[in-house]
Structure 1
Amino acid sequence: MPNFFWYLLLFIFTGLMLYSAGIKDKKRAIVLWLFNSGLSYLFELVVYVMYNCYLYKPDVFKDPFVDSTFGSIFSQGLSVPAAATVAALFKSGAASILIFSYIFSAIEVLFLHLDIYEHVWWKTSYTFFFIPVLFSISKLWYWLLKKGRIQTLFITHYVCMITLSTTITWLLFAIRPTVLFHFGLFEEPSRDHTFANAIYFIAVSLFYSIFAFTKWKTLKLLLFILLLAADYLLVQHHVILIHHAMDGAGLVLTHLYFWGASLLLGKQLQPPLHRHEE
């Protein structure tokens, strides 16, 4: 049976969880899921990208690190954050969260047994420990979201934009690499790109969120000019590698796309959450 089949099951499992979460709270389910995914990505940036803790094997891409990262998205970007969202929306108690820890630990053991996932220095006990941590943060953040305070909304928007920008740009890189990031910190070009791409969009997502929350048109224009100027400097210093002018234009279009996405996310996030709820 192809390796990817089991990752596809994770995708279906995620869809079912998000559907149930959407029934419970349509306005906040996707936002909270994206927020949880962003937290998982930040964690993965350290333990997986920097310190090579484990290896996924969906067997889709030829490059081992690209293939592994693609598999990581199914786990850390989809299924675990979706489960944390369900736990928060349905107010799961300690016993339910413990069951979730057992389930994901069991899935991990199954993937190890099927040889579609491999530990380098990670242990299943770490998974069992960290699942409740994310779930607890998710429950707390859901409570804060219902309060609708501007600080919570802005941080949520920012983390959601990290999720969207890093996921979409990384998938574009995996399918057809045109714009490459190069820090020179890792021997594997794909690992180096993944790390640099993440750092870049962690920084740039702050621009996207400020753009969505400010009403000052002058500030919006200034942010865009600063962003283009920063890109130009990064290209000149060979941190961003582009081979054709069209690739540079594509980077500008990418910013415009996320500019629009940030506005849509802001509209989705703010109106229903400005109302005080207990």
Structure 2
Amino acid sequence: MKKPKKRNKIPFIILFIIHTSMLGYSFYKSKNKKQLFTLLMADIGFAYLLEYVVLNVFHAYTYKPKIMKKNFFDNVFGAILSQGIFVPFTAVFSTVLKIGWVGKLFLGGVYFSLVEQIFIRLKVYKHNWWKTIYTVTLIPLYFKISDWWNMFLDKRNPIVRVISLFLMILVTEANLLFLFAATRKIRFGIGRYHAWREHFIMVPLYAITLSFFSTLSFLKQNNWSSKLRVLIMTIGLDQLFKKGKVVKDKFHVVDYFTVRVLAIFLYGWFRDIVYGVRNRGEQNSEGKVLEKNDNLT
């Protein structure tokens, strides 16, 4: 008897509730919620970049949450749940609670390897060439990178702040582009027929390019000039892709500009979070109260 598709969703829903609760507790405990949000988005960005190589290009594993009708979209959506929620939310939890190496090995290695094996047995996930030992090794290291990143954010390291802003924009662009593809608004590819596999290899490169130039535009300040530069650059990049016949879209011009303008204002807000002003009495992630106005720029 064929297993009802709705059963595939249950393990993902359970993990969603668990890890969302962990993130909620992390924000409750954090003394600097803006920095924690920056860290969260950076952690998701790192996970997305790794997932692009491991899943999109080399197809290391397959997710089967049975939430979306097309298998290719369902697989990518499962990856978004994993790399955009389950793993990064846990990394932030580990950083906020200052969990040591032993805890990271248990929470990152043991816990996620057990989840992996359970998902395989439930047939909602399968390995193609990936091995559980990679999970056991890489996730605790990823958790430690989250700790280091938070430390450098505390120190206001200029390189870390620039990369953080880039990753915040990248995560947003990646999620937007997935939504556009899922609603059949956009598809990337070369040639007359644009296959979805080809789309999901090309679209992250588009998102990376757009995020890079947006980061450069907002690097000095968030003003109307910066926003206008990003809008012009975005339109120019889109027209370049269209003339090169590597993208097809079904956007109404009003919808396109609405989404793009809202996204640009969001990226300006990201810039203010990363390079904003801490006022007297505000605390850093260690709970230390700042004694005077401290301009992060």
Structure 1 and Structure 2 fold alike (TM over 0.5): yes
Partner of 2:179: 171
Partner of 1:80: 87
Deviation at 1:35, TM superposition (A): 0.8
Q: How many residues align structurally?
A: 273
Whole-angstrom distance in 2 between the partners of 1:39 and 1:251: 28
Residue by residue, what CA displacement relative to the aligned partner does 1:45-77 show, whole Å, maximum 9, x if unpaired?
001000010000001222211111111111111
Which of 107, 112, 117 is the matching residue for 1:104?
112
**8 Å Cα contact 1:11/1:78 also seen in 2:** yes
State percent identity of aligned pairs.
Answer: 27
Deviates more, 1:260-269 or 1:31-40: 260-269
Residue by residue, what CA displacement relative to the aligned partner does 1:65-112 show, whole Å, maximum 9, x if unpaired?
111111111111111011111111221111100111100110000000
Residue by residue, what CA displacement relative to the aligned partner does 1:104-154 show, whole Å, maximum 9, x if unpaired?
110000000101001100111111111012111101000011112333222
Deviates more, 1:65-74 or 1:253-262: 253-262
Structure 1 segments, 4+ long, off by >6 Å, are 273-276
Partner of 1:202: 208
Whole-angstrom distance in 2 between the partners of 1:253 and 1:8: 32
Whole-angstrom distance in 2 between the partners of 1:252 and 1:27: 28
Deviation at 1:5, TM superposition (A): 1.3
Deviation at 1:210, TM superposition (A): 2.7
Which of 214, 218, 222 is the matching residue for 1:212?
218
Compared with structure 1, are the counterparts of its residues 125 and 67 closer, same or farther at alpha carbon in structure 2 (3 Å cutoff)? Answer: same
Partner of 2:76: 69
**8 Å Cα contact 2:217/2:229 also seen in 1:** no
Whole-angstrom distance in 1 between the partners of 2:268 and 2:226: 15
Q: Unpaired runs of 5+ in structure 1?
A: none
The residue type paired with residue 148 of structure 1 is R
TM-score calculated relative to the size of structure 1: 0.90
Q: Unpaired runs of 5+ in structure 2?
A: 1-5, 287-297
Deviation at 1:13, TM superposition (A): 1.6
Of Structure 1 and Structure 2, the greater helix share is in: 1
**8 Å Cα contact 1:147/1:276 also seen in 2:** no
The residue type paired with residue 262 of structure 1 is Y
Partner of 1:33: 40
Q: Describe the SS at the equivalent of 1:118.
A: strand
**8 Å Cα contact 1:208/1:258 also seen in 2:** no
Which of 261, 268, 277 is the matching residue for 2:273?
268
Deviation at 1:220, TM superposition (A): 4.6
**8 Å Cα contact 2:180/2:186 also seen in 1:** no
Q: Describe the SS at the equivalent of 2:68.
A: coil
**8 Å Cα contact 2:218/2:271 also seen in 1:** yes
**8 Å Cα contact 1:161/1:205 also seen in 2:** yes
Which is higher, the Rg of structure 1 or of structure 2? 2
Whole-angstrom distance in 2 between the partners of 1:188 and 1:114: 33
Partner of 1:95: 102
Compared with structure 1, are the counterparts of its residues 201 and 253 closer, same or farther at alpha carbon in structure 2 (3 Å cutoff)? Answer: farther
Whole-angstrom distance in 2 between the partners of 1:68 and 1:242: 22
Whole-angstrom distance in 1 between the partners of 2:41 and 2:236: 29
Compared with structure 1, are the counterparts of its residues 217 and 74 closer, same or farther at alpha carbon in structure 2 (3 Å cutoff)? Answer: closer
Compared with structure 1, are the counterparts of its residues 39 and 46 closer, same or farther at alpha carbon in structure 2 (3 Å cutoff)? Answer: same
